[in-house]
Structure 1
């Protein structure tokens, strides 16, 4: 069973004798069939599929298992709240594991090689100081501005002490995980045909 199943809409059939479009019989509201939503599918998914989806959002098996074990969720807001709470409770070991699964945000197509060099150098300095890749939630930052924001973030956070930066990195991971989870649910709901909807920062 896939985590998200496609649901086919009832097709419309036109009568050749008239220009009108005819539809099938309309059911009373209380008898309308229940169509599964992405959240319904997530709630009902086997454990391994739920874990795979959650690990795509944050590379922490403890985090993903905690969220999956508390299914079913009545609504998306409850799921996101559970994801936030689980992220707040990450131990230092869990946090290090989650950070190890991260990578730098992709730079926009057509970016000059000098910008790639600057980003690589800045991240190398960051990793040398803090021991993990730089993470940042870009939210609704336009793609053309994302590189500048990443570089600005690295340079400003390089001045932090390790404990201060650990707290900031954990918060960025929380926002990233929630944004990815919401984007997956929304993307499935829109059959992956709509533009990506950025998750709200919290």
Structure 2
């Protein structure tokens, strides 16, 4: 039996395995990429995909078609990416304050895709983005949030397909803190 990767250290999932694995296992994998049952079902139900590019295009299209209610469900399970272990406590305080201000203004968690950002730059990038996005009107921020969720889902799916190991942005279990 082919085991789909759902833990750190996972192996690659060729598209052929993605196409033939049981739907429930694929939905589980997809929900680890974006916690939207609608998104996961749409991608799983449209198998088979001729190649990884077609799968990623379908994932993007499904993300673009999500309603705000679908996005809100996905946001409920997201958290900020973990900061590097050597980040000083004042940075955690600044990030917590910025995150609280964002959540108070928009009513949902702040999300950002940091694919391609060096770990030592992640804190600055997150703080800069939160501060910048706090000035957005709610409709503009919804569009940016939807795009960030789409990018997060795509990056997570790419990492699952490539089997590069740990998914940097996997949401922790509800109630867990991100540090």
Same fold (TM > 0.5): yes
Higher relative contact order (CA 8 A, sep 6+): 2
1:105 pairs with one of 81, 105, 112 = 81
Q: What is the SS of the residue equivalent to 2:30?
A: helix
Residue-by-residue CA offset, 1:70-122 (whole Å, 9 max, x unaligned): 00111000000000000000011101101111101110111000000000000
TM-score by length of 1: 0.76
Residue 153, structure 1, aligned to residue 129, structure 2: yes
- Report the Cα distance in structure 2 between the residues aligned to 1:145 and 1:101, rounded to whole angstroms: 24
Task: Tell me if 1:130 matches 2:131.
Answer: no
Secondary structure of 1:102's aligned partner: coil
- Contact 2:98–2:131, Cα closer than 8 Å, also in 1: yes
Root-mean-square deviation over aligned CA pairs: 1.8
Q: State how far apart, in whole Å, the 2-side matches of 1:44 and 1:3 are.
A: 11
Out of 17, 20, 26, the residue aligned to residue 50 of structure 1 is: 26
Separation (CA, whole Å) in 1 of partners of 2:157 and 2:41: 15
Q: Runs ≥4 in structure 1, deviation > 4 angstroms?
A: none
Q: What are the ranges of 5 or more consecutive residues in structure 1 without an aligned counterpart?
A: 5-35, 197-202
Q: Aligned-pair distance for 1:3?
A: 2.5
> Is 1:114 aligned to residue 90 of structure 2?
yes
- Residue correspondence of structure 1 range 19-98 to structure 2 within 5 A: 38-98=14-74
